[in-house]
Homo-oligomer: A and B are copies of this chain.
């Protein structure tokens, strides 16, 4: 029987608000068992770019990372954002250890090729999660805190989407653990009506998913998230949860019945 491992990804709006981030980190520190946190910090990067007079370029909502933007990403994500999170968690008694994919060669990636004239710059598509290296850290009692960067194993850092890192870690670590993946954001989960927080869909599984899609109940913004969740589950992840970041406090009371649970 594999040991449980919970992987949490926090979205931009949690990171952006100092007090809300603190609430989340306090709750995260109290979650029992093996765990990993994955975070981005895109808004901080954009603000620092503006501060330094570097143009922020986006294509389809994804950042174009030229050389100077990569320097800002490297200052903000593993620097300011990750170290504030690590120090805060240490203050709450959680033995956090911050990582990019370059650290301990935990996650390697390939620079995204130019396609149809679209060049995202120093952006990486994940090639491999070095499961044994991540496992060494977990077994030593550390709580890995990953930020949204990887490397190409040839000295180049690459900006990599945090959702994708969380999902790649979850899938990779199914070799050694029974993995639950939590996408934490500022809504209670997948909603029937976007404006109604009480319209939570508690469970999505293969049997009701096509019906929910067919009836247009799951909206366009949520579709790729749920599709990715099913990809993770089909690759061996136990369950994927889409939930409010405040609700993870329930886990310290042994209750995991919150948010939207996605399973086979």
Contacts and interface: CB of A to CB of B under 8 A. Distances in A.
Contact of A140 (B52, B77, B137): B137
A90 B136 contact: no
B102 A86 contact: yes
A149 B52 contact: no
A100 B83 CA distance: 8
A52 B49 CA distance: 11
B103 A86 contact: yes
Q: Say which size band chain A's interface belongs to.
A: 35 or more
A237 interface: no
The binding surface of chain A is classed by DSSP as helix
Given A52-B51, A74-B80, A82-B78, A104 B95 contact: yes
A255 interface: no
Contacts of A87: 102, 151, 155-157
Interface of A: 48, 51-52, 71, 74-80, 82-84, 86-88, 90-92, 95-100, 102-105, 133, 136-137, 140-142, 149, 151, 153-157
- The 5 A-B pairs at the shortest CB distance, nearest first, are namely A79-B79, A91-B155, A136-B140, A75-B75, A97-B104
23 contacts: A51-B52, A71-B80, A74-B83, A75-B76, A76-B79, A77-B79, A78-B79, A78-B83, A79-B83, A84-B157, A86-B102, A87-B155, A87-B157, A88-B155, A90-B151, A90-B153, A91-B156, A92-B155, A96-B103, A97-B104, A98-B103, A104-B140, A133-B142
